[in-house]
Amino acid sequence: MPEGHSVHRIAARFRSDLVGHPVAVTSPQGRFAQGGALLDGRVMEDCFAVGKQMFVRFAGDLHLRVHLGIYGAWDFSTLHAEEGSSSDGDVRPAREGQTGTYAAAAAGSMGAPRAARVSHVRAGEQETAGTASGAGEQWPPEPVGAVRVRLLTDRVCADLRGPTVCEAITPHEAAAHLERLGPDPVVDGKRRGWARFHAKAAHRRTPIGTLLMDQAMIAGIGNIYRAEMLFRAGIDPYTPTVDLREEQLRELWDDWCRLLPIGIETGVIVTRTQLRGKAKQAMLESVVDRHHVYGRAGEDCRVCGTAISLAEMQGRKLYWCAGCQR
C-alpha cells in the first residue's frame, strides 16, 4: 500500500503539472462517469495530501478525493515538444475522444509543436519511470486497463487505476474527511502535530503497533514505516500505548517528522539514516539494504544479531527484533 510519502509526491506532481489548467475529466472504465461529468472542464485550483489521502480542488467548490488503498496507482503521460519546436505556441487542450498523432490532436493550432515525444511515469506504492517515446506517439494515449478516472490537459494525462476511494465531494464533505484524519507533519507542522497526536493517542490502551496504523491517530504511516519507526525507538509493538512514557511517544512523532520529508525527497522509504557514502548509495539503490527489520524475518538483526520476528497484526505482517525492542 502506498504510504504517506508517495501520496505527497503525487500531490506535488499534480500541483506542478495540472493545477491552474482546465481539465477534461472522464471515466474510461465507467465507474466514475457521474463524478467525472461534475468535474469535467473545470480549472484545477489546488491539490494536497493528508496522510494516504489526496484532495484535488476544482473551480466551483468541488473536490476529488482519492485513496489509493492497496492496489491503486496513477499513470502520468507527459507531452514534450521536440527540440526546434515552438515552446510558447497555442496548444489546444486535448479532449477525450481525440486520437491520432499529436499533429492531428493539435490540428489548426498556430505555433503548435511540429513534433513531440511522450514520457510516462507510474506513481503508487513505488514510482517507476517508463521509456519516452519518439516523435508522433498518439496523444492522448489510449486508456490501458480499468482506468477509473482520466484527468487530461493539453500536455498531461493522469490515469487512475484500482483506488479504494475515488469520489467527487463538496467542500463541506472534504472538511469532514479532513477532520477525521490524524496529524500529518507536512500539513500540521511539528509542534501542532505533536499536540494533536498526544491528545489523540496518549491514553489509548491499543498496542502501539496497531495505533500507528490508525489514520485517525496519525496520518500517513503504513506497514514499513510502522515496523521501522518502532525498531528505531526500541519499542515492543505490543506495548499498550498508554504504558509508553511521554518521551517515547514524542520520539515516535519526532521520528515521523524526520522520516517523512526524506521519503518525499527520495521517493523511497529510508530508515537506515545513519549510513553514509557508498553504504548510503547502496541502501538507496537496493531495497534489501534499506530497512532494519521490515521484510527480514528470520535474518539476523543488524544491531544485536537476534533473528527478526514475524507475526500478523490486524491482517498485516509485523516485523520486529525481540532483542532490541523491549
Pair 153, 194 in one domain: no
pLDDT at 274: 86
Element (H, E) at 316: strand 316-320
Catalytic hit among 15, 190, 302, 316 = 316
Q: What range defines the domain where residue 244 resides? A: 182-320
Residue 326 lies in a domain: no
- Our answer to whether residue 228 is catalytic in this structure is no
Pair 293, 201 in one domain: yes
Residue 325 lies in a domain: no
Tens-digit pLDDT profile for residues 37-50: 999 999 999 999 99
Pair 125, 234 in one domain: no
- Our answer to whether residue 52 is catalytic in this structure is yes
Residue 250 lies in a domain: yes
Angle between helical axes of 4-17 and 246-266 (0-180°, round to 10):
40
Pair 119, 186 in one domain: no
Residue where a domain stops, chosen among 151, 174, 197:
174
Pair 153, 264 in one domain: no
Pair 203, 170 in one domain: no
Residue 190 lies in a domain: yes
Counts of helices then strands in the chain (DSSP H, E):
10, 12
- Using DSSP's 3-state secondary structure scheme, residue 323 falls into coil
- Residues in the chain where the model's pLDDT stays below 50: 84-115
Tens-digit pLDDT profile for residues 154-178: 999 999 999 999 999 999 999 999 9
Identify whether 2 is preceded by a cis peptide bond (ω within 30 of 0).
no
Residue where a domain stops, chosen among 128, 147, 174:
174
Pair 168, 189 in one domain: no
Pair 11, 73 in one domain: yes
Residue where a domain stops, chosen among 122, 147, 174:
174
pLDDT at 284: 78
Pair 299, 214 in one domain: yes
Whether the CB-CB separation of 79 and 139 falls below 8 Å is answered with yes
- Our answer to whether residue 28 is catalytic in this structure is no
Pair 196, 311 in one domain: yes
Pair 144, 251 in one domain: no
In the chain, the number of structural domains is 2
pLDDT at 134: 56
Catalytic hit among 2, 28, 163, 185 = 2
Rounded Cα gap, residues 231 and 73, in angstroms: 29
Catalytic hit among 9, 13, 52, 161 = 52
Whether the CB-CB separation of 209 and 318 falls below 8 Å is answered with yes
Pair 16, 155 in one domain: yes
Residue 293 lies in a domain: yes
Residue 192 lies in a domain: yes
Residue 132 lies in a domain: yes
At 68, which CATH number? 3.20.190.10
Residue 50 lies in a domain: yes
Listing DSSP states for 164-185 in one string gives SEEEEE-HHHHHHHHHHS---H
pLDDT at 132: 59
At 300, which CATH number? 1.10.8.50
pLDDT at 295: 95
- Our answer to whether residue 265 is catalytic in this structure is no
Q: b/e per residue, 209-248, with b = 16+ CB within 10 A? A: bbbbbbbebbbbbbbbbbbbbbbbbebbbebebeebeeee
